[in-house]
Amino acid sequence: MSAGKIPYVKHNNGTQIQAIGLGTYTSLGGDCERATLHAIDVGYRHIDTAFFYENENEVGAAVSKKIAEGVIKREDIHITTKLWCHFHEPERVEYACRKTLQNFGLEYVDLYLMHWPYSYVYRGDSEMMPTDAKGEVELNDIDYLDTWRAMEKLVELGLTKSIGVSNFNSEQLTRLLANCKIKPIHNQIECHPALNQKKLIALCKQHDIVVTAYCPLGRPDPAKKTPNYIYDAKVQAIGDKYKKSTAQVVLRYLIEIGAVPLPKSSNPKRIEENFKVFDFKLDAADHAILDTYNTGERLIPMEHAIKNKNYPFNIEF
């Protein structure tokens, strides 16, 4: 399926992205560059990464190669990356963004997200999970509103086209919306059938904020046959009905409930398969089955930050 046939989602600031993107977390050692090169060739024009992933350089190298080959122009592709938790001090935000741009070898990114609403003590750029003598992560109490105001300046400087957040709950998002000059265009959250996030998606939609879904396939483990919604016979039957894989069914479900999924893969066949989810639609019975897997269980609970005042998962959504 070519890039031209993939639907786009519009943002509240007039920009837009493809309704699916390539996730790159844990993709390293050249795998990320190879995956990004293949994804662009297949038709992906939406790539998601982060400073924490330590592969911004690989994404940048792949994008630069495809621009040099004439496959894409810079404005054709949307690159999202994220401000990590140890850069939340307002005076560090511009520095962090410029460091990210240096990693990419680019003049700007399309979207810069605040990766988490809580922050860590700064112990150096490479100390991304700073720990104390007890081995516990050193947390900070920086107000995410102060970090956001520094991020707003990045837009004015032209270092990023847009800004947004990640892992913000309903209360944090509402507070941010009441105190910002530039409205976030995205809230990137963990979202899959076991955590379908329908209430948070509804709130974001109410405020014209796009939800992007990380871990959309729940990190499948063939040996353990987990998560169940990838290996369950009921979902396999839905896939058989449409001549699709269970992964494609799950991605389609997320799209239909209002999220933009970011499936991560470095496998060329899976990268292609994940892209082919716009030529079928699920019916109400399919949705009813997929809804039954919603247990609310998180894959990424980040429990080390649970005592921090900005920890986002102490409320329902």
Which sequence spans correspond to the domains of the chain? 8-305
Instruction: State the CB neighbour count (10 A cutoff) for residue 41.
Output: 15
Q: What is the dihedral of CA 235, 18, 50, 11, to 10 degrees?
A: -120
* Full 3-state SS string of 49-100: CCHHHCCHHHHHHHHHHHHHCCCCCHHHCEEEEEECHHHCCHHHHHHHHHHH
Beta bridge partners of 139: 120
Considering the chain, what percentage of its residues have pLDDT values greater than 70?
99
Residue ranges of alpha helices (H) inside the chain are 31-42, 56-68, 90-104, 144-157, 170-177, 198-206, 228-231, 233-242, 246-256, 268-275, 284-291
Query: Residue 2 pLDDT more than 80?
Result: no
Q: Rounded CA gap, 241 and 233, in Å? A: 12
Q: Which CATH superfamily is domain 8-305 in?
A: NADP-dependent oxidoreductase domain (3.20.20.100)
pLDDT category of residue 25 using cuts at 50, 70 and 90: very high
Confidence tier at 38 by pLDDT (50, 70, 90): very high
Q: Which has the closest alpha carbon to 309: 119, 167, 138?
A: 119
Q: Mean per-residue pLDDT for 202-222?
A: 97
Catalytic positions: 53
CA 263 from centre of chain = 9
For residue 82, which phi and psi values (nearest 5 degrees)?
-140, 145
Structure tokens at 311: 């920890």
Tally Cβ neighbours within 10 Å of residue 52: 18
Locate tokens 């720990």: which residue? 131
Question: Please, are residues 131 and 124 in contact by the beta-carbon 8 Å criterion?
Answer: no
Confidence tier at 4 by pLDDT (50, 70, 90): low
Collapsing DSSP to helix, strand or coil, 27 comes out as coil
Task: List, in sequence order, every residue forming a beta bridge with 154; answer none if it has no partner.
Answer: none
pLDDT of 16 strictly over 80: yes
For the question of whether the overall pTM of this predicted structure is more than 0.95, the answer is yes
Residue 1 pLDDT class (50, 70, 90 cuts): low
Does the annotation flag 115 for ligand binding?
Answer: yes
Calculate mean pLDDT across residues 128-135: 96
Report whether pLDDT(186) > 90: yes
pLDDT in tens, 161-183: 999 999 999 999 999 999 999 99
Residue 3 has pLDDT above 80, yes or no: no
- Checking if the pLDDT of 124 tops 70, the result is yes
pLDDT tens for residues 51-66? 999 999 999 999 999 9
Residues belonging to the chain? 317
- Any idea what the Cα angle at residue 204 is, between residues 47 and 89, rounded to 5°? 65
Query: pLDDT of 234-281, one tens digit each?
Result: 999 999 999 999 999 999 999 999 999 999 999 999 999 999 999 999
Which pLDDT tens digit goes with each residue over 278-311?
Answer: 999 999 999 999 999 999 999 999 999 999 999 9
Check residue 137 and report its DSSP letter.
B
Is the pLDDT at 5 greater than 80, yes or no?
yes
Separation of alpha carbons 173 and 313, rounded Å: 13
pLDDT for residue 27: 86
Pairwise CA distance, residues 314 & 308, whole Å: 10
Model confidence pLDDT, tens digit, residues 82-96? 999 999 999 999 999
% of residues, the chain, pLDDT over 90: 97
